Amino acid sequence: MAGGGKVACAAWIRRREDKATRVFAVYGRAAAAESAVEVLGFDSQDCSLSSEPLARAVLGEEPGDAPRGIAVHPSGDELVCATAKGCRLFKLIFEEFTVRLLSRDVPSLDSVGPQKCLAFSTDGAKFAIGGEDGHLRIFHWPSMNVLLDEPKAHKSFQDMDISLDSEFLVSTSTDGSARIWKIDEGAPLVNLTRSSDEKIECCRFSRDGMKPFLFCTVAKGNKVVTVVWNISDWSRIGYKRLLGKPISTLSVSMDGKYLALGSHDGDFCAVDVKKMEVSHWSKKVHLGSPVSSIEFCPTERAVISTSHQWGAELTKLNVPADWKEWQVWLILISLFLASAILFYMFYERSDSFWNFPMGRHQPAKPWNVLKESPPVPEDKNP
């Protein structure tokens, strides 16, 4: 591809338009010559990305310009790319056959230093960044008014996520602690409980819109389990060992039906949230290298996984297919037509009650059955 270099980070772009939803992928490439952000087209039929980028923006030629993470606004109109120097904002301009990336200066983001975590809220009204120095910043988007600025939120950030209703933010530290923040109040709410030998590492809120939960991976020695918290009182509901090895990253699909867990040796699996069972397993995708991120496609059962050694890999998940909207309508129309045909057949083959004639076509009274003589017609002639 143009510019070369390994893919250091990746994300999906979903564009809702009048006729359809368009999906793109964005790569952050780190190269010795120049680092860049690239936008690629996605073919849902073949589950593949375009061989050449549709748009490309250069980040710089210095080592500090290498991309470290990407967060895309839910509208698909903007994205933020984190580097060792700070964060860069890009405006996405979509035209009929072309895509453009326009850089925008944001003083409150340009010089914040290396950031480990970036996240937009689901409604797109809030943007949070967590730094390697443990500094947490939450902004109102796009005004960039500061909602929370906590320099000593953690020793150093490991993971972060915002709840579906944009009310809470969960963050984990490299020292194994985890904290819940109330975004609108701009203050910490509670620390998740753990024993002295436990480390809370990765975290994600549920996304299915039903009863909300918090998923966290918890390491205790060589044993790693996925623990579920109830966000109403922040108590543990239960846990399950899914991947069976140390976990490097955790992700959740946009509809909340699947979790993805990546390992330190390059494997990853997809988990059915309803059953909490592994539905897909990909081994040696990033052989011997920790999976740094897993991003679910917004419209298809596919993921982009990244690692520092092997770059990005697009994988189609081997899970049961979802019902499409047109398939649901087809079933409903078929049921309606089948009901109409059955009613017509029942009507045609039914007894005389259903075929009872109306009006002047009714037959004469069966006087012979009643054993009475029929009335004599009255003579109307004068």
Helices (H), 74-196: 107-110
Average pLDDT over residues 285-305: 96
pLDDT at 278: 96
Nearest alpha carbon to residue 181 among 194, 172, 173, 170: 170
For every residue of 99-117, DSSP letters joined together read EEEEEE--HHHHTS--EEE
What CA–CA distance (Å, rounded) separates 209 from 164? 8
What is the 3-state composition of the chain as percent helix, strand, coil, each rounded to the nearest 5? Answer: 10, 45, 45
For every residue of 114-133, DSSP letters joined together read -EEEEEE-TTSSEEEEEETT
Structure tokens belonging to residue 138: 């939450």
Average pLDDT over residues 148-162: 97
pLDDT at 183: 96
- What's this model's pTM, rounded to 2 decimal places? 0.83
Q: Residue 367: which pLDDT band, with cuts at 50, 70 and 90?
A: very low
At residue 284, what are phi and psi to the nearest 5 degrees?
60, 30
Check if the beta carbon of residue 224 is closer than 8 Å to that of residue 216.
no
SS3 call for 80: strand
- Looking at this protein, which amino acid is placed at residue 20? A
Note the Cα 307 to chain centre separation in Å.
Answer: 20
What CA–CA distance (Å, rounded) separates 206 from 255? 9
pLDDT at 67: 97
Long-range contact list for 236-241, CB < 8 A, 24+ apart? 236/193, 237/213, 240/276
Nearest alpha carbon to residue 37 among 102, 125, 118: 102
Q: Each residue of 57-69: pLDDT tens digit?
A: 999 999 999 999 9
Q: CA separation (Å) from 75 to 84, 168, 315? A: 26, 21, 25
**pLDDT of 352 strictly over 60:** no
Structure tokens belonging to residue 359: 């009006």
Give the helix/strand (H/E) hosting 58. strand 55-60
Q: In what order do the strands lie in the sheet with 168-173?
A: 157-162, 168-173, 178-182, 187-191
What CA–CA distance (Å, rounded) separates 207 from 181? 18
Q: In what order do the strands lie in the sheet with 87-94?
A: 67-72, 78-83, 87-94, 99-104
**pLDDT of 27 strictly over 90:** yes
**pLDDT of 37 strictly over 70:** yes
Q: CA separation (Å) from 2 to 33, 51, 328? A: 12, 9, 42
Q: Residue 329: which pLDDT band, with cuts at 50, 70 and 90?
A: low
Q: Which residues contact 321 (CB under 8 A, 6 or more apart)?
A: 301
Q: Each residue of 118-152: pLDDT tens digit?
A: 999 999 999 999 999 999 999 999 999 999 999 99
Q: Residue 364: which pLDDT band, with cuts at 50, 70 and 90?
A: low
Q: Each residue of 238-251: pLDDT tens digit?
A: 999 998 899 999 99
Q: CA separation (Å) from 93 to 81, 99, 121? A: 16, 6, 22
What CA–CA distance (Å, rounded) separates 302 from 338? 36
Structure tokens belonging to residue 191: 């620390």
How crowded is residue 152: how many other Cβ atoms within 10 Å of its Cβ?
9
Q: Which residues contact 16 (CB under 8 A, 6 or more apart)?
A: 76
pLDDT at 207: 93
